[in-house]
A and B are shown apart, each in its own frame.
Chain A
Protein backbone atom coordinates (compact mmCIF):
# COMPACT_ATOMS: atom_id res chain seq x y z
CA UNK A 1 0.00 0.00 0.00
CA UNK A 2 2.83 2.36 0.88
CA UNK A 3 6.21 1.96 -0.81
CA UNK A 4 9.11 4.25 0.00
CA UNK A 5 12.50 3.93 -1.70
CA UNK A 6 15.56 6.01 -0.77
CA UNK A 7 13.47 9.01 0.06
CA UNK A 8 15.34 12.19 1.00
CA UNK A 9 14.13 15.62 1.96
CA UNK A 10 16.19 18.68 2.76
CA UNK A 11 15.12 21.92 4.36
CA UNK A 12 17.75 24.27 3.05
CA UNK A 13 20.97 22.46 3.81
CA UNK A 14 19.51 20.54 6.75
CA UNK A 15 18.67 16.97 5.93
CA UNK A 16 15.31 16.09 7.46
CA UNK A 17 14.93 12.66 5.92
CA UNK A 18 17.95 10.74 4.70
CA UNK A 19 17.41 7.99 2.11
CA UNK A 20 14.78 6.05 3.99
CA UNK A 21 13.06 2.99 2.58
CA UNK A 22 10.16 1.03 3.97
CA UNK A 23 6.90 -0.46 2.88
CA UNK A 24 3.50 -1.01 4.41
CA UNK A 25 1.33 -3.85 3.17
CA UNK A 26 -2.41 -3.67 2.69
CA UNK A 27 -4.37 -4.03 5.92
CA UNK A 28 -1.32 -3.44 8.09
CA UNK A 29 -1.23 -1.06 11.00
CA UNK A 30 2.20 0.44 11.29
CA UNK A 31 3.62 2.78 13.86
CA UNK A 32 6.18 5.36 12.90
CA UNK A 33 8.15 6.01 16.03
CA UNK A 34 10.84 8.52 16.74
CA UNK A 35 11.79 11.41 18.99
CA UNK A 36 10.67 14.92 18.12
CA UNK A 37 12.41 16.23 15.02
CA UNK A 38 13.30 12.75 13.76
CA UNK A 39 11.66 13.27 10.37
CA UNK A 40 8.30 11.62 11.00
CA UNK A 41 6.14 14.54 9.97
CA UNK A 42 8.36 15.29 6.98
CA UNK A 43 8.02 11.72 5.71
CA UNK A 44 4.27 11.84 6.25
CA UNK A 45 4.00 15.15 4.41
CA UNK A 46 5.80 13.64 1.44
CA UNK A 47 3.48 10.62 1.47
CA UNK A 48 0.39 12.83 1.62
CA UNK A 49 1.66 14.99 -1.26
CA UNK A 50 1.97 18.13 0.86
CA UNK A 51 5.70 18.50 0.37
CA UNK A 52 7.62 17.16 -2.60
CA UNK A 53 10.70 15.09 -1.76
CA UNK A 54 14.16 15.97 -3.03
CA UNK A 55 15.19 12.48 -3.95
CA UNK A 56 13.90 8.92 -4.08
CA UNK A 57 10.51 7.44 -4.81
CA UNK A 58 7.33 6.97 -2.87
CA UNK A 59 4.01 5.51 -3.84
CA UNK A 60 0.76 5.19 -1.97
CA UNK A 61 -2.11 2.92 -3.01
CA UNK A 62 -0.19 2.09 -6.18
CA UNK A 63 0.23 5.69 -7.34
CA UNK A 64 3.44 7.66 -7.35
CA UNK A 65 3.21 10.65 -5.02
CA UNK A 66 5.10 12.92 -7.41
CA UNK A 67 3.53 11.99 -10.72
CA UNK A 68 0.03 10.93 -9.69
CA UNK A 69 -0.48 13.26 -6.75
CA UNK A 70 -4.25 13.63 -7.28
CA UNK A 71 -4.77 9.85 -7.36
CA UNK A 72 -2.80 9.46 -4.15
CA UNK A 73 -4.79 12.21 -2.45
CA UNK A 74 -8.06 10.51 -3.37
CA UNK A 75 -7.03 7.34 -1.59
CA UNK A 76 -5.45 8.82 1.51
CA UNK A 77 -7.14 10.06 4.65
CA UNK A 78 -4.79 12.32 6.56
CA UNK A 79 -4.91 13.74 10.07
CA UNK A 80 -2.16 16.35 10.44
CA UNK A 81 -0.49 16.74 13.80
CA UNK A 82 -1.93 20.19 14.56
CA UNK A 83 -5.46 19.15 13.45
CA UNK A 84 -6.11 22.32 11.47
CA UNK A 85 -9.83 23.19 11.29
CA UNK A 86 -11.94 26.26 10.52
CA UNK A 87 -13.13 27.49 13.93
CA UNK A 88 -15.99 29.54 12.48
CA UNK A 89 -17.63 26.53 10.82
CA UNK A 90 -20.00 24.07 12.43
CA UNK A 91 -18.95 20.44 12.46
CA UNK A 92 -21.60 19.46 9.92
CA UNK A 93 -20.69 22.34 7.61
CA UNK A 94 -17.06 21.38 7.79
CA UNK A 95 -17.72 17.74 7.01
CA UNK A 96 -20.03 18.78 4.16
CA UNK A 97 -17.25 20.93 2.74
CA UNK A 98 -14.66 18.20 3.08
CA UNK A 99 -17.03 15.69 1.49
CA UNK A 100 -17.59 18.04 -1.43
CA UNK A 101 -13.92 18.53 -2.18
CA UNK A 102 -13.51 14.77 -1.86
CA UNK A 103 -15.91 14.49 -4.77
CA UNK A 104 -18.82 12.92 -2.89
CA UNK A 105 -22.32 13.62 -4.24
CA UNK A 106 -25.07 14.93 -1.98
CA UNK A 107 -26.57 11.56 -1.03
CA UNK A 108 -23.16 9.92 -0.63
CA UNK A 109 -22.05 12.84 1.47
CA UNK A 110 -24.98 12.64 3.85
CA UNK A 111 -24.44 8.91 4.25
CA UNK A 112 -20.70 9.43 4.82
CA UNK A 113 -21.31 12.13 7.41
CA UNK A 114 -23.73 9.84 9.24
CA UNK A 115 -21.15 7.07 9.20
CA UNK A 116 -18.20 9.13 10.44
CA UNK A 117 -20.16 11.01 13.11
CA UNK A 118 -21.23 7.69 14.53
CA UNK A 119 -17.78 6.20 14.25
CA UNK A 120 -16.05 9.17 15.88
CA UNK A 121 -18.78 9.88 18.47
CA UNK A 122 -19.56 13.31 17.11
CA UNK A 123 -23.36 13.27 17.10
CA UNK A 124 -23.56 15.43 20.25
CA UNK A 125 -21.53 18.25 18.75
CA UNK A 126 -22.48 17.97 15.07
CA UNK A 127 -24.19 21.39 15.03
CA UNK A 128 -21.72 23.23 17.24
CA UNK A 129 -19.10 25.63 15.90
CA UNK A 130 -15.71 23.94 15.79
CA UNK A 131 -14.13 26.86 17.66
CA UNK A 132 -16.11 25.96 20.77
CA UNK A 133 -15.04 22.32 20.86
CA UNK A 134 -12.53 20.81 23.25
CA UNK A 135 -9.23 19.42 22.02
CA UNK A 136 -10.60 15.89 22.18
CA UNK A 137 -13.59 16.69 20.02
CA UNK A 138 -11.47 18.63 17.55
CA UNK A 139 -9.25 15.58 17.21
CA UNK A 140 -12.32 13.50 16.44
CA UNK A 141 -13.52 16.00 13.86
CA UNK A 142 -10.12 15.72 12.20
CA UNK A 143 -10.37 11.96 12.26
CA UNK A 144 -13.92 12.07 10.88
CA UNK A 145 -12.62 14.27 8.07
CA UNK A 146 -9.84 11.78 7.32
CA UNK A 147 -12.42 8.99 7.12
CA UNK A 148 -15.16 10.72 5.17
CA UNK A 149 -14.22 9.33 1.76
CA UNK A 150 -13.54 5.86 3.15
CA UNK A 151 -9.87 5.95 2.11
CA UNK A 152 -7.73 2.89 1.50
CA UNK A 153 -4.89 4.39 3.48
CA UNK A 154 -5.16 6.33 6.70
CA UNK A 155 -2.18 8.43 7.77
CA UNK A 156 -2.36 9.87 11.26
CA UNK A 157 0.31 12.21 12.58
CA UNK A 158 0.47 12.02 16.38
CA UNK A 159 -3.22 11.18 16.70
CA UNK A 160 -3.40 11.24 20.49
CA UNK A 161 -1.17 14.15 21.33
CA UNK A 162 -2.81 16.56 23.76
CA UNK A 163 -5.67 14.26 24.73
CA UNK A 164 -6.56 13.25 28.27
CA UNK A 165 -5.99 9.61 29.29
CA UNK A 166 -9.61 8.59 28.70
CA UNK A 167 -9.61 10.11 25.25
CA UNK A 168 -6.26 8.52 24.46
CA UNK A 169 -7.71 5.12 25.25
CA UNK A 170 -10.83 5.80 23.17
CA UNK A 171 -8.80 7.03 20.22
CA UNK A 172 -6.49 4.01 20.38
CA UNK A 173 -9.36 1.59 20.33
CA UNK A 174 -10.94 3.51 17.47
CA UNK A 175 -7.70 3.30 15.49
CA UNK A 176 -7.47 -0.42 16.13
CA UNK A 177 -11.04 -0.76 14.91
CA UNK A 178 -10.29 1.28 11.80
CA UNK A 179 -7.34 -0.96 11.00
CA UNK A 180 -9.80 -3.70 10.10
CA UNK A 181 -10.95 -1.78 7.01
CA UNK A 182 -8.03 0.52 6.26
CA UNK A 183 -4.28 0.39 6.01
CA UNK A 184 -3.12 2.59 8.85
CA UNK A 185 0.14 4.39 9.39
CA UNK A 186 0.46 6.48 12.52
CA UNK A 187 3.32 8.42 13.96
CA UNK A 188 4.18 9.00 17.56
CA UNK A 189 7.07 9.87 19.80
CA UNK A 190 5.60 7.79 22.61
CA UNK A 191 6.44 4.12 22.51
CA UNK A 192 3.54 2.67 24.55
CA UNK A 193 1.23 4.47 22.18
CA UNK A 194 2.63 2.63 19.18
CA UNK A 195 2.97 -0.62 21.09
CA UNK A 196 -0.69 -0.48 22.07
CA UNK A 197 -2.07 0.12 18.60
CA UNK A 198 0.38 -1.15 16.01
CA UNK A 199 1.39 -4.56 14.76
CA UNK A 200 4.63 -3.30 13.28
CA UNK A 201 6.93 -0.49 14.31
CA UNK A 202 9.37 1.57 12.29
CA UNK A 203 11.77 3.51 14.47
CA UNK A 204 13.23 6.62 12.89
CA UNK A 205 15.86 8.94 14.28
CA UNK A 206 17.64 11.87 12.68
CA UNK A 207 16.06 11.12 9.35
CA UNK A 208 17.10 7.48 9.26
CA UNK A 209 15.33 4.25 10.03
CA UNK A 210 17.18 2.67 12.92
CA UNK A 211 15.01 -0.37 13.51
CA UNK A 212 11.84 -1.91 12.23
CA UNK A 213 9.83 -5.04 12.81
CA UNK A 214 6.84 -6.38 14.66
CA UNK A 215 6.67 -5.66 18.37
CA UNK A 216 7.58 -9.31 18.99
CA UNK A 217 10.60 -9.13 16.69
CA UNK A 218 11.84 -5.97 18.34
CA UNK A 219 11.36 -7.61 21.75
CA UNK A 220 13.39 -10.54 20.51
CA UNK A 221 16.24 -8.17 19.79
CA UNK A 222 16.25 -6.89 23.35
CA UNK A 223 15.59 -10.31 24.87
CA UNK A 224 19.36 -10.95 25.23
CA UNK A 225 19.59 -8.58 28.14
CA UNK A 226 16.57 -9.63 30.05
CA UNK A 227 16.28 -10.88 33.58
CA UNK A 228 14.31 -13.28 35.66
CA UNK A 229 13.39 -11.91 39.05
CA UNK A 230 12.75 -14.10 42.07
CA UNK A 231 12.18 -13.61 45.78
CA UNK A 232 13.42 -16.60 47.69
CA UNK A 233 13.80 -17.39 51.39
CA UNK A 234 16.99 -19.33 51.89
CA UNK A 235 20.72 -19.02 52.63
CA UNK A 236 22.25 -16.34 50.42
CA UNK A 237 25.33 -18.30 49.33
CA UNK A 238 23.41 -21.51 48.85
CA UNK A 239 20.74 -19.86 46.74
CA UNK A 240 23.24 -18.05 44.56
CA UNK A 241 25.29 -21.19 43.98
CA UNK A 242 22.17 -23.27 43.35
CA UNK A 243 20.85 -20.80 40.77
CA UNK A 244 24.22 -20.44 39.03
CA UNK A 245 24.15 -24.18 38.42
CA UNK A 246 21.06 -23.86 36.22
CA UNK A 247 21.92 -24.02 32.52
CA UNK A 248 21.52 -20.75 30.67
CA UNK A 249 22.13 -18.58 33.69
CA UNK A 250 24.96 -16.14 33.11
CA UNK A 251 24.88 -14.10 36.27
CA UNK A 252 23.12 -14.05 39.62
CA UNK A 253 22.90 -11.10 41.95
CA UNK A 254 20.96 -11.00 45.15
CA UNK A 255 20.20 -8.69 48.00
CA UNK A 256 18.56 -9.22 51.36
CA UNK A 257 15.25 -7.47 51.87
CA UNK A 258 12.96 -7.98 54.91
CA UNK A 259 13.99 -11.58 55.37
CA UNK A 260 13.70 -12.47 51.72
CA UNK A 261 16.41 -12.72 49.15
CA UNK A 262 15.67 -10.67 46.08
CA UNK A 263 17.50 -12.38 43.23
CA UNK A 264 18.09 -11.08 39.78
CA UNK A 265 19.05 -13.83 37.34
CA UNK A 266 20.58 -12.83 34.03
CA UNK A 267 19.69 -15.40 31.44
CA UNK A 268 19.12 -15.97 27.76
CA UNK A 269 16.24 -18.40 28.01
CA UNK A 270 13.29 -18.95 30.28
CA UNK A 271 14.60 -20.49 33.53
CA UNK A 272 11.53 -20.04 35.71
CA UNK A 273 10.71 -23.74 35.93
CA UNK A 274 14.33 -24.64 36.68
CA UNK A 275 14.37 -22.05 39.46
CA UNK A 276 11.24 -23.57 40.91
CA UNK A 277 12.72 -27.08 40.73
CA UNK A 278 15.89 -25.89 42.47
CA UNK A 279 13.84 -24.28 45.21
CA UNK A 280 11.81 -27.47 45.70
CA UNK A 281 14.96 -29.58 45.87
CA UNK A 282 16.68 -27.31 48.41
CA UNK A 283 13.61 -26.53 50.44
CA UNK A 284 13.58 -22.75 49.76
CA UNK A 285 10.32 -20.85 49.70
CA UNK A 286 9.42 -18.67 46.70
CA UNK A 287 7.00 -15.74 46.90
CA UNK A 288 7.69 -14.20 43.55
CA UNK A 289 9.06 -15.48 40.26
CA UNK A 290 8.74 -13.54 37.08
CA UNK A 291 10.42 -12.84 33.84
CA UNK A 292 11.15 -9.18 33.58
CA UNK A 293 9.35 -8.06 30.43
CA UNK A 294 11.87 -7.06 27.85
CA UNK A 295 11.19 -3.36 27.75
CA UNK A 296 10.88 -1.85 24.31
CA UNK A 297 11.05 1.50 26.02
CA UNK A 298 14.64 0.82 27.09
CA UNK A 299 15.39 -0.40 23.62
CA UNK A 300 13.91 2.72 22.06
CA UNK A 301 15.78 5.03 24.41
CA UNK A 302 18.99 3.10 23.78
CA UNK A 303 18.64 3.23 20.01
CA UNK A 304 17.92 6.91 20.04
CA UNK A 305 20.76 7.60 22.45
CA UNK A 306 23.29 5.54 20.49
CA UNK A 307 22.30 7.23 17.25
CA UNK A 308 22.71 10.57 18.95
CA UNK A 309 26.14 9.52 20.26
CA UNK A 310 27.21 8.43 16.78
CA UNK A 311 26.10 11.72 15.35
CA UNK A 312 28.15 13.74 17.82
CA UNK A 313 31.27 11.63 17.37
Chain B
Protein backbone atom coordinates (compact mmCIF):
# COMPACT_ATOMS: atom_id res chain seq x y z
CA UNK B 1 0.00 0.00 0.00
CA UNK B 2 2.77 2.40 0.94
CA UNK B 3 4.55 1.62 -2.31
CA UNK B 4 1.39 2.24 -4.31
CA UNK B 5 0.93 5.62 -2.63
CA UNK B 6 4.59 6.52 -3.10
CA UNK B 7 4.32 5.76 -6.80
CA UNK B 8 1.08 7.71 -7.03
CA UNK B 9 2.62 10.76 -5.35
CA UNK B 10 5.65 10.66 -7.60
CA UNK B 11 3.50 10.32 -10.69
CA UNK B 12 1.33 13.26 -9.65
CA UNK B 13 4.44 15.35 -9.10
CA UNK B 14 5.57 14.51 -12.63
CA UNK B 15 2.13 15.20 -14.08
CA UNK B 16 2.05 18.66 -12.51
CA UNK B 17 5.69 19.37 -13.34
CA UNK B 18 5.33 18.60 -17.00
CA UNK B 19 3.56 20.90 -19.45
CA UNK B 20 1.45 18.00 -20.70
CA UNK B 21 -0.68 18.08 -17.55
CA UNK B 22 -1.59 21.72 -18.03
CA UNK B 23 -2.11 21.31 -21.76
CA UNK B 24 -4.53 18.46 -21.12
CA UNK B 25 -6.48 20.34 -18.45
CA UNK B 26 -6.71 23.54 -20.46
CA UNK B 27 -7.58 21.60 -23.61
CA UNK B 28 -10.37 19.79 -21.81
CA UNK B 29 -11.76 22.95 -20.25
CA UNK B 30 -11.57 24.79 -23.55
CA UNK B 31 -13.44 22.08 -25.44
CA UNK B 32 -16.11 21.63 -22.76
CA UNK B 33 -16.42 25.42 -22.49
CA UNK B 34 -17.03 25.67 -26.22
CA UNK B 35 -19.59 22.86 -25.96
CA UNK B 36 -21.47 24.64 -23.19
CA UNK B 37 -21.41 27.85 -25.19
CA UNK B 38 -22.34 26.35 -28.57
CA UNK B 39 -25.18 24.21 -27.23
CA UNK B 40 -26.77 27.38 -25.87
CA UNK B 41 -27.11 25.87 -22.41
CA UNK B 42 -27.26 29.37 -21.01
CA UNK B 43 -29.74 30.82 -23.47
CA UNK B 44 -32.82 32.48 -22.01
CA UNK B 45 -35.92 30.35 -22.06
CA UNK B 46 -33.98 27.09 -22.17
CA UNK B 47 -34.29 24.56 -19.33
CA UNK B 48 -31.59 24.92 -16.72
CA UNK B 49 -29.78 21.74 -17.66
CA UNK B 50 -26.39 20.63 -18.78
CA UNK B 51 -27.72 17.71 -20.77
CA UNK B 52 -25.81 18.75 -23.88
CA UNK B 53 -22.59 19.07 -21.92
CA UNK B 54 -22.99 15.64 -20.42
CA UNK B 55 -23.97 14.16 -23.78
CA UNK B 56 -20.77 15.26 -25.51
CA UNK B 57 -18.25 14.98 -22.68
CA UNK B 58 -17.70 11.19 -23.03
CA UNK B 59 -16.42 11.74 -26.57
CA UNK B 60 -14.08 14.44 -25.38
CA UNK B 61 -12.89 12.15 -22.61
CA UNK B 62 -12.02 9.33 -24.99
CA UNK B 63 -9.38 11.65 -26.44
CA UNK B 64 -8.38 13.50 -23.28
CA UNK B 65 -8.07 10.59 -20.83
CA UNK B 66 -5.49 8.66 -22.89
CA UNK B 67 -3.52 11.92 -23.05
CA UNK B 68 -3.39 11.94 -19.25
CA UNK B 69 -2.32 8.31 -19.04
CA UNK B 70 -0.09 8.06 -22.12
CA UNK B 71 3.12 8.77 -20.26
CA UNK B 72 2.21 6.77 -17.16
CA UNK B 73 4.14 3.58 -17.86
CA UNK B 74 5.57 4.21 -21.33
CA UNK B 75 7.75 7.01 -19.98
CA UNK B 76 9.24 4.60 -17.44
CA UNK B 77 10.20 2.31 -20.33
CA UNK B 78 11.58 5.17 -22.41
CA UNK B 79 13.70 6.73 -19.69
CA UNK B 80 14.83 3.37 -18.30
CA UNK B 81 13.51 4.20 -14.83
CA UNK B 82 11.48 1.00 -15.08
CA UNK B 83 14.77 -0.75 -14.27
CA UNK B 84 15.23 1.05 -10.95
CA UNK B 85 11.54 0.52 -10.10
CA UNK B 86 11.45 -3.16 -10.96
CA UNK B 87 14.64 -3.87 -9.02
CA UNK B 88 13.26 -2.15 -5.93
CA UNK B 89 10.81 -4.09 -3.77
CA UNK B 90 7.80 -2.88 -5.77
CA UNK B 91 5.42 -5.38 -7.35
CA UNK B 92 4.12 -4.96 -10.88
CA UNK B 93 0.58 -4.56 -9.53
CA UNK B 94 1.67 -1.81 -7.13
CA UNK B 95 3.27 0.04 -10.03
CA UNK B 96 0.17 -0.23 -12.22
CA UNK B 97 -2.28 0.68 -9.45
CA UNK B 98 -0.10 3.61 -8.33
CA UNK B 99 -0.06 4.95 -11.88
CA UNK B 100 -3.82 4.44 -12.15
CA UNK B 101 -4.53 6.29 -8.89
CA UNK B 102 -2.33 9.23 -9.88
CA UNK B 103 -4.16 9.59 -13.19
CA UNK B 104 -7.48 9.25 -11.37
CA UNK B 105 -6.59 12.05 -8.94
CA UNK B 106 -5.52 14.21 -11.87
CA UNK B 107 -8.78 13.38 -13.66
CA UNK B 108 -10.86 14.27 -10.59
CA UNK B 109 -9.12 17.65 -10.35
CA UNK B 110 -9.80 18.24 -14.05
CA UNK B 111 -13.46 17.23 -13.76
CA UNK B 112 -13.89 19.27 -10.59
CA UNK B 113 -13.10 22.38 -12.62
CA UNK B 114 -16.26 21.82 -14.67
CA UNK B 115 -18.38 22.16 -11.52
CA UNK B 116 -18.43 25.82 -12.44
CA UNK B 117 -21.14 25.06 -15.06
CA UNK B 118 -23.79 23.62 -12.74
CA UNK B 119 -22.96 26.39 -10.26
CA UNK B 120 -23.49 29.01 -12.96
CA UNK B 121 -26.68 27.34 -14.13
CA UNK B 122 -28.03 27.36 -10.61
CA UNK B 123 -27.54 31.12 -10.54
CA UNK B 124 -29.87 31.57 -13.50
CA UNK B 125 -32.47 28.97 -12.75
CA UNK B 126 -33.38 26.02 -10.66
CA UNK B 127 -30.68 23.48 -11.37
CA UNK B 128 -31.38 19.80 -10.98
CA UNK B 129 -28.74 19.04 -8.41
CA UNK B 130 -29.72 15.39 -8.13
CA UNK B 131 -29.14 14.81 -11.83
CA UNK B 132 -25.92 16.79 -11.70
CA UNK B 133 -24.64 14.70 -8.78
CA UNK B 134 -25.45 11.41 -10.47
CA UNK B 135 -23.85 12.73 -13.69
CA UNK B 136 -20.64 13.42 -11.82
CA UNK B 137 -20.74 9.96 -10.25
CA UNK B 138 -21.13 8.69 -13.81
CA UNK B 139 -18.16 10.76 -14.99
CA UNK B 140 -16.10 9.33 -12.16
CA UNK B 141 -17.04 5.72 -12.87
CA UNK B 142 -16.64 6.04 -16.63
CA UNK B 143 -13.42 7.98 -16.16
CA UNK B 144 -11.99 5.22 -13.97
CA UNK B 145 -12.60 2.70 -16.75
CA UNK B 146 -11.12 4.99 -19.39
CA UNK B 147 -8.06 5.67 -17.21
CA UNK B 148 -7.50 1.97 -16.57
CA UNK B 149 -7.71 1.41 -20.32
CA UNK B 150 -5.26 4.26 -20.95
CA UNK B 151 -2.81 2.88 -18.38
CA UNK B 152 -3.04 -0.48 -20.13
CA UNK B 153 -2.32 1.15 -23.50
CA UNK B 154 0.62 2.95 -21.90
CA UNK B 155 2.05 -0.34 -20.63
CA UNK B 156 2.29 -1.62 -24.19
CA UNK B 157 4.87 0.73 -25.62
CA UNK B 158 7.72 3.08 -24.83
CA UNK B 159 6.34 5.66 -27.23
CA UNK B 160 3.88 8.12 -25.70
CA UNK B 161 2.18 8.99 -28.98
CA UNK B 162 1.59 5.32 -29.72
CA UNK B 163 0.23 4.90 -26.19
CA UNK B 164 -2.14 7.80 -26.75
CA UNK B 165 -3.47 6.47 -30.04
CA UNK B 166 -3.68 2.90 -28.71
CA UNK B 167 -5.77 4.30 -25.86
CA UNK B 168 -7.92 6.81 -27.70
CA UNK B 169 -8.97 4.88 -30.80
CA UNK B 170 -10.47 1.82 -29.04
CA UNK B 171 -12.12 4.05 -26.44
CA UNK B 172 -13.62 6.22 -29.14
CA UNK B 173 -14.97 3.12 -30.88
CA UNK B 174 -16.27 1.79 -27.58
CA UNK B 175 -18.09 5.01 -26.84
CA UNK B 176 -19.54 5.54 -30.32
CA UNK B 177 -19.96 2.18 -31.88
CA UNK B 178 -22.23 0.37 -29.43
CA UNK B 179 -24.37 3.46 -28.89
CA UNK B 180 -25.11 3.92 -32.57
CA UNK B 181 -25.13 0.24 -33.52
CA UNK B 182 -27.88 -0.89 -31.15
CA UNK B 183 -30.78 0.24 -33.36
CA UNK B 184 -29.05 -1.23 -36.42
CA UNK B 185 -28.67 -4.80 -35.24
CA UNK B 186 -30.80 -7.45 -33.59
CA UNK B 187 -30.49 -10.70 -31.74
CA UNK B 188 -27.45 -11.70 -29.74
CA UNK B 189 -25.32 -8.94 -31.20
CA UNK B 190 -27.80 -6.37 -29.97
CA UNK B 191 -27.61 -7.84 -26.46
CA UNK B 192 -23.82 -7.63 -26.57
CA UNK B 193 -23.89 -4.02 -27.74
CA UNK B 194 -26.43 -3.15 -25.08
CA UNK B 195 -24.17 -4.59 -22.42
CA UNK B 196 -21.03 -2.76 -23.54
CA UNK B 197 -22.91 0.44 -24.32
CA UNK B 198 -20.68 2.88 -22.43
CA UNK B 199 -22.52 5.94 -23.69
CA UNK B 200 -25.94 4.49 -22.93
CA UNK B 201 -24.93 3.57 -19.41
CA UNK B 202 -23.51 7.02 -18.82
CA UNK B 203 -26.59 8.65 -20.36
CA UNK B 204 -28.80 6.82 -17.88
CA UNK B 205 -26.70 8.22 -15.06
CA UNK B 206 -27.02 11.79 -16.35
CA UNK B 207 -30.76 11.30 -15.91
CA UNK B 208 -30.25 10.30 -12.30
CA UNK B 209 -30.35 6.51 -12.69
CA UNK B 210 -27.29 4.86 -11.21
CA UNK B 211 -27.80 1.16 -11.65
CA UNK B 212 -25.78 -1.48 -9.91
CA UNK B 213 -25.10 -3.17 -13.22
CA UNK B 214 -23.54 0.01 -14.61
CA UNK B 215 -21.41 0.52 -11.51
CA UNK B 216 -20.23 -3.09 -11.74
CA UNK B 217 -19.64 -2.65 -15.48
CA UNK B 218 -17.38 0.39 -15.04
CA UNK B 219 -15.55 -0.76 -11.93
CA UNK B 220 -15.18 -4.27 -13.29
CA UNK B 221 -13.87 -2.87 -16.55
CA UNK B 222 -11.28 -0.82 -14.68
CA UNK B 223 -10.16 -3.84 -12.66
CA UNK B 224 -9.93 -5.97 -15.78
CA UNK B 225 -7.83 -3.42 -17.68
CA UNK B 226 -5.52 -2.91 -14.69
CA UNK B 227 -5.10 -6.65 -14.39
CA UNK B 228 -4.16 -6.90 -18.07
CA UNK B 229 -1.77 -3.95 -17.67
CA UNK B 230 -0.07 -5.76 -14.78
CA UNK B 231 0.35 -8.85 -16.93
CA UNK B 232 1.78 -6.76 -19.77
CA UNK B 233 4.32 -5.13 -17.45
CA UNK B 234 5.22 -8.57 -16.13
CA UNK B 235 5.64 -9.98 -19.64
CA UNK B 236 7.99 -7.13 -20.61
CA UNK B 237 10.59 -8.67 -18.33
CA UNK B 238 10.70 -11.77 -20.45
CA UNK B 239 11.15 -10.29 -23.88
Contacts and interface: CB of A to CB of B under 8 A. Distances in A.
Contacts of B116: none
Interface string B110-143: 0000000000000000000000000000000000
B73 to A, nearest CB: 14
Interface in B10-61: 10, 13-14, 17-18
A73 B2 contact: no
Given A48-B87, A73-B89, A88-B13, A101 B80 contact: no
Nearest to B3: A101
Contact of A86 (B6, B14, B83): B14
A80 interface: yes
A78 B17 contact: no
Given A50-B86, A51-B237, A89 B14 contact: yes
B88 interface: yes
Contacts of B10: 86, 89, 97
Contact of B87 (A49, A86, A87): A49
Interface residues of A, number: 28
Contacts of A303: none
Interface in A156-205: none
B84 A84 contact: yes
Interface string A54-96: 0000000000000000100110101010101111110001000
A78 B82 CA distance: 13
B81 interface: yes
B105 interface: no
B14 A88 contact: yes
Nearest to B86: A50
Contacts of A98: 84, 88
Nearest to A79: B84
A84 B80 contact: yes
A101 B2 CA distance: 7
Contact of B89 (A82, A89, A103, A145): A103
Given A84-B83, A84-B84, A102 B89 contact: yes
A52 B84 CA distance: 15
A84 B79 contact: yes
Interface in B155-204: none
A211 B129 CA distance: 77
Kindly name the residue among B10, B18, B82, B85 whose own CB sees the greatest number of chain A CB atoms within 10 A.
B10
A93 B9 CA distance: 11
Given A78-B84, A85-B81, 4 more contacts: A80-B83, A89-B10, A100-B6, A101-B6
Interface of B: 2-3, 6-7, 9-10, 13-14, 17-18, 79-91, 237-239
List of 5 A-B pairs having minimum Cβ-Cβ separation, nearest first: A84-B80, A100-B6, A88-B17, A84-B81, A48-B87
Interface of A: 11, 45, 48-52, 70, 73-74, 76, 78, 80, 82, 84-89, 93, 97-98, 100-103, 145
19 contacts: A48-B87, A49-B87, A50-B86, A50-B87, A50-B237, A51-B238, A70-B89, A70-B91, A73-B89, A86-B79, A86-B81, A88-B13, A88-B18, A89-B13, A100-B3, A101-B2, A101-B6, A101-B89, A145-B84
